[in-house]
Amino acid sequence: MRFIEEYRDQETAQALGRAIRGITTRGWTLMEVCGGQTHAIVRFGVDQLLPEAVTLVHGPGCPVCVTPIELIDAAVEIAAREDVVFCSFGDMLRVPGSTTDLLAVKARGGDVRIVYSPLDALKIAKTEPAKQVVFFAVGFETTAPANAMAVYRARREGIANFSVLVAHVLVPPAMEAILSSRDNRVQGFLAAGHVCAVMGYTEYEPLASRYRVPIVVTGFEPVDILHGVYLCIKQLEEGRAEVENQYVRAVRREGNASAQEMVREVFRVDRRMWRGIGEIPRSGLALRDEYAAFDALRRFDVGEAVTVEASECISGLVLRGVRKPNECPAFGGRCTPERPLGAPMVSSEGACAAYYRYRTHAAVSRA
């Protein structure tokens, strides 16, 4: 525990807060990309240690939140089939589709199981050969190596009743989409440390140079985040725009070569729809042709579906850093974790869920 407590030390956090105030001479808006960082910021009150001139906005760093509604609807349709065991991480079960969610399918008797690894789903496929076992492969670059390994092993071991519903998204293209949008107000980024532990941070260097924004690879504890803010503000105040690594205990510039090789073996880069944002070119992963037999969308021929998004949900604006959760008229009233209008209210990394859990005083209750 001492290694966690070291990065939650109150005196260190307050000292960093004073240091940030000491170097800030004008207003700056920073975006933390990762939903895990968002939860830490809101839970520990990191933003309350910052000067008023520094604004933190929350980015699209919750892969559950940006999974397109079309894939949620496809998951619901597949999971409802009698011959299917549908495996998923737990926070996907409450994400609303057009009309229902995976938890409702489970309540109606569908074989929907929460697993903690794609290899758990692969094990189920081995032990239940009469069933089609589908794993919902959701995540950023962080979870891609494990999902790739599961598909790689299924092919190598001839496990024909296993497939994946791929919903992988990539961080750098999303950051570029934000920077190039007309309503962008982000001047610097706190990049997700776990993504960079896998992929390194060379992909961020062209973004920093092209858009003249500092990008600081940052960890997930309060001291990490405050240190990341300090480094980012320091660059802005000095007129620099570089990629800097605060999370040196876990991240190297080149990342994890073995993990990257496994991802490249199984996946290729493809376009991807982002819920609440729209299509971003080359922002997702899809199975390579050699592994197409393990694509759940091809195996089950789900077809085109007409999707419906809740009209009053502003999650897209939240995910782009344009609005904050408590600025939504439905927040805490018509939208709660028990009755969510959008994914950010139910995901363990969703910004709306963080505000609801840790700052319920900010909720605006409306019938």
pLDDT at residue number 263: 98
Q: Domains, the chain, ranges and CATH?
A: 2-63+173-245 (3.40.50.11750), 65-170+256-268+281-300 (3.40.50.11740), 315-362 (no CATH)
- Quick one: pLDDT at residue 302? 84
Residue segments in the chain with a per-residue pLDDT below the cut of 50? 1, 361-367
pLDDT tens, 68-126?
999 999 999 999 999 999 999 998 999 999 999 999 999 999 999 999 999 999 999 99
> What is the C-alpha separation between 142 and 250, in angstroms, rounded?
13
Would you state the pLDDT for residue 306? 62
pLDDT the model gives residue 235? 98
Alpha-carbon distance 158 to 141, whole Å? 26
pTM of the model: 0.91
Lookup: tokens for 158: 């001839």
Taking only Cα atoms into account, the Rg of the chain, rounded to an integer number of angstroms, comes to: 21
Of 167, 141, 133, whose CA–CA distance to 294 is shortest? 133
DSSP states of 11-32? HHHHHHHHHHHHH--S-EEEEE
pLDDT at residue 257, as a whole number: 98
CA distance 29 to 359: 21
* pLDDT confidence of residue 266: 98
Helices (H), the chain: 2-5, 10-23, 35-44, 63-66, 69-79, 102-107, 118-127, 144-157, 171-179, 193-199, 204-211, 222-238, 257-266, 296-300, 315-319, 351-358
Q: How many angstroms separate the CA atoms of 63 and 66, rounded?
A: 5
State the pLDDT at residue 188: 98
Digit-coded pLDDT (tens) for 2-44: 567 889 999 999 999 999 999 999 999 999 999 999 999 999 9
